[in-house]
Structure 1
Amino acid sequence: MSRDRLPYVLTAFAVLAAAAVLLAMGRVPICTCGYIKLWHGETISSENSQHLTDWYTPSHLLHGLIFYAALSPLAVRLAVGWRRLIATIVECAWEIAENTNAVIERYREVTISLDYYGDSVINSVFDIFAMIAGFWLARRIPVRASVAILLGFELLTAYVISDGLALNVLMLVYPLDAVRMWQGGL
């Protein structure tokens, strides 16, 4: 195998390994409803985070934009394939951590996600693919366009579902009652 292909193979291996870990943790492979949808748009639903994509998919695409920017200083030393591999490993680690009982309980305690029981494995894998797509996109578009996409998706998801990447992180790390009430429509 050529050295140029190795990061691609390792990226695929990282995604498969993350899926295997999630299955070993007891995460369901697909929605317990018994079918797979391309898009599930209801956030207050037992099927949220169970299908291929949902309103949280854009936040994973934003992870890719952010990881590309964060890893850009390494560009002189590491080819883009290796930087994408690092980003993928970080995203896989997040998907695993996000689906631990401790983090799931934290979401349920401090957010309006009372019916959140973790992601299905297929949803987690597609979240990882969304990050890879965001990384790929950031490599091909100007920085201004990446910033516009980031702001656009944050505003869109804040408007439509009263959530997004920034709000999700805020509520996980430093929950605010005012935000929780706003998210709950109170």
Structure 2
Amino acid sequence: MARTRKGGGIAARYWLMAIGITLAAAIALVWMGRPPICTCGTIKLWAGAAHSADNSQHLADWYTPSHIVHGFLFYALFWLLWRGGPRGPRFVAAVALEAAWEVAENTRWVIDRYRDATMALGYTGDSVINSVADIGWMALGYLIASRLPWRVTAAIGVGLELLTLYVIRDNLTLNVLMLVWPIDAIRVWQSGA
């Protein structure tokens, strides 16, 4: 059995696997033609304008809370599916799931779906650095969920969803809803009309 840090941490070999998965996703995204960094030529820690060309191009933006919530949800999912199983493989599975989403999200089909069905009319996909950062934000959310009581994690998740709903009229819940089953009234509300 792999050794873990005191307190039930994740062994180094699982971190290395997670990093390898993230690098594989980055290579796939470059191969798909995604720009490594923002085509503006800069790397920003925070891109705060949700409806701008900087969105989904830098290290963090108003969709970063959604990726943290992904981590909360993936922790719960893999805890339920693999209850009692070692922490490392569950963490690697969460990273793999997020990496797979980041690659899928940047396919022409999903980009076009976002543009057609959601408020992301000008969305052209993520930069590679943004996708890698999104995987990192999910991992942070996963680790937070692994350390906090579930009620605290749930409260933080609801708080993040409400914050982004208030600030940008979008969040993970609406994003998934509008991607799967678009509702015109929500699209109009999101556009501020």
- The alignment status of 1:75 with 2:83, answered yes or no, reads yes
Equivalent residue, structure 1, for 2:99: 92
Residue 144 of structure 2 corresponds to residue 165 of structure 1 = no
Q: How many angstroms does 1:6 deviate by?
A: 2.6
Identical aligned residues as a percent: 54
1:111 is matched with which residue? 118
Q: Which runs of 4+ in 1 moved over 4 A?
A: none
For the aligned residues, what is the CA RMSD?
Answer: 1.1
Counterpart-to-counterpart distance in 1, 2:55 and 2:18 = 26
2: CA distance, partners of 1:168 / 1:156: 14
Residues 78-123 of structure 1: CA deviation (Å, up to 9, x unaligned): 2111100000000000000000000000000111211100000000
Q: Give the TM-score normalised by structure 2.
A: 0.93
Aligned-partner Cα distance in 2 for 1:46–1:10 = 33
The count of aligned residue pairs is: 184
Question: TM-score, normalising length from structure 1?
Answer: 0.96
In the TM superposition, 1:131-150 aligns within 5 A as: 131-150=138-157
What's the CA shift for 1:70?
0.8
State how far apart, in whole Å, the 2-side matches of 1:79 and 1:55 are.
33
